[in-house]
């Protein structure tokens, strides 16, 4: 083996899976090649799911050998894949930090929605979300975010160039707060919409945020994906408890950020999706519905009600079907387009709010949370005994 080869082997290879079209063009220029190679490679990677340079037959053998020395196409490692009785699929994948994250595919007729993660764990600690109880471990790279789409598309044999795709929609609603991993999420979403990537329309890529107001405004001009906002409470007092970031960016500021972003879109027919998790006895009563009507009366939106999906030590309960229907009816009578999200994949812990994965909880938040709940239960038991 020559010294040149040894030196090359010691250099970390560029993962082409995580490069946008502009990034790939810059990469090829840096190795003395033409920019148009970027589109060729993107089609092989994202349209055909190819990771082996030898299979990229429309580029020269010389270039293929060069790419082997300086580049790779590497997705996260698949740890497990689970199938629900309702057709939902959940993958657990290991990322570079050593943590594991989850992604979920939800089929619904001709529509197939892939829910991807943007972080390992989450720093926001929403009280009803199991992921938040694990604490935050790491941001995902572009390759780790787009790699989830790549893995799912390959698993279905869904090659956009030759057949109908299984994945019609992608939502960043998995583990993590997407806007706290801003640059990597923006690049990933733009790759999803790139014709040489996955060719998804801006209406079919949705970013869900708990309300990181400065980052919502920062999106303006950088992307025009659909927006979903996790509201979950009609007052600041209650939202401060359920979604702690509200203490920094209260509902009034959040509504203005929604208006700013939606107003920047050329497609004025689009509306924001408001997500509202219904918690029995906490935010599902008629007075909460009436308060929510007031909050949303000047927000062009569709309201997605999500019955709580239980997880151990949450301290919350799922509302009755009657309570869910009553809440929906009150919102519809007020003129709001309101749907109830079907619970999918709860038998494999893939339902909304249940994603946990195998994240190493360096903050020990999960243990503290469980201890708090156990202490609260003991207090209740003592009071009842007395």
Backbone angles phi, psi at 341, to 5 degrees: -70, 130
Could you tell me the end-to-end alpha-carbon distance of the chain, in angstroms, rounded to an integer?
Answer: 80
Contacts of 269 (CB under 8 A, 6+ apart): none
| Active-site residue identified among 102, 144, 177, 275 | 102
3-state secondary structure 259-295: HHHHHHCCCCCCCEEEEEEECCCCCCCHHHHHHHHHH
Contacts of 44 (CB under 8 A, 6+ apart): 50, 55, 56
Q: Any catalytic annotation for residue 102?
A: yes
| Active-site residue identified among 126, 129, 301, 352 | 352
Rg (Cα) of the chain, in Å, rounded? 23
Q: Any catalytic annotation for residue 352?
A: yes
Helix (H) or strand (E) run with residue 48 in it = none
Rounded (10°) angle between helices 182-193 and 142-155: 40
Strands (E), the chain: 14-15, 71-72, 77-83, 89-94, 100-108, 111-115, 119-121, 136-139, 169-172, 205-209, 226-230, 272-278, 301-307, 337-340
Positions annotated as catalytic residues are 102, 352
């Amino acid at each position: 083996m020559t010294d040149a080869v040894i030196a090359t082997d010691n250099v970390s290879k560029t993962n082409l899976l995580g490069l946008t079209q502009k990034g790939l063009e810059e990469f090829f220029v840096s190795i003395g090649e033409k920019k148009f190679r970027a589109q060729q490679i993107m089609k092989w990677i994202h349209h055909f799911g190819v990771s082996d340079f030898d299979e990229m037959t429309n580029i020269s053998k010389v270039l293929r050998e060069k790419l082997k020395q300086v580049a790779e196409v590497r997705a996260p490692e698949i740890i497990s894949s689970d199938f629900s009785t309702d057709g939902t699929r959940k993958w657990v994948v290991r990322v570079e930090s050593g943590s594991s994250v989850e992604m979920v595919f939800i089929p619904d007729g001709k529509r197939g929605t892939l829910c991807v993660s943007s972080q390992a764990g989450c720093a926001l600690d929403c009280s009803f979300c199991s992921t938040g109880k694990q604490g935050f471990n790491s941001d995902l790279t572009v390759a780790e975010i787009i790699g989830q789409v790549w893995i799912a598309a390959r698993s279905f044999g869904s090659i956009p160039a030759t057949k109908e795709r299984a994945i019609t929609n992608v939502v960043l609603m998995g583990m993590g707060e997407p806007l706290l991993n801003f640059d990597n999420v923006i690049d990933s979403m733009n790759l999803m919409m790139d014709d040489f990537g996955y060719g998804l329309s801006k209406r079919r890529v949705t970013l869900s945020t708990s309300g990181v107001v400065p980052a919502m405004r920062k999106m303006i001009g950088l992307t025009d994906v659909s927006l979903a906002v996790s509201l979950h409470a009609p007052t600041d007092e209650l939202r401060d408890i359920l979604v702690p970031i509200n203490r920094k960016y209260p509902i009034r500021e959040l509504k203005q950020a929604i208006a700013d972003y939606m107003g920047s879109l050329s497609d004025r027919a689009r509306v924001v999706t408001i997500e509202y998790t219904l918690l029995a006895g906490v935010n599902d009563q008629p007075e909460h519905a009436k308060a929510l009507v007031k909050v949303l009366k000047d927000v062009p939106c569709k309201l997605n009600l999500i019955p709580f999906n239980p997880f151990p030590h949450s301290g919350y309960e799922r509302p009755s079907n009657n309570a869910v229907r009553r809440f929906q009816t009150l919102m519809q009578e007020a003129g709001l387009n309101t749907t109830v999200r079907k619970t999918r994949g709860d038998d494999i812990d893939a339902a909304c709010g249940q994603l946990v994965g195998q994240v190493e909880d360096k903050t020990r938040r999960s243990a503290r949370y469980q201890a708090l709940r156990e202490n609260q239960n003991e207090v209740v038991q003592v009071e009842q005994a007395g």
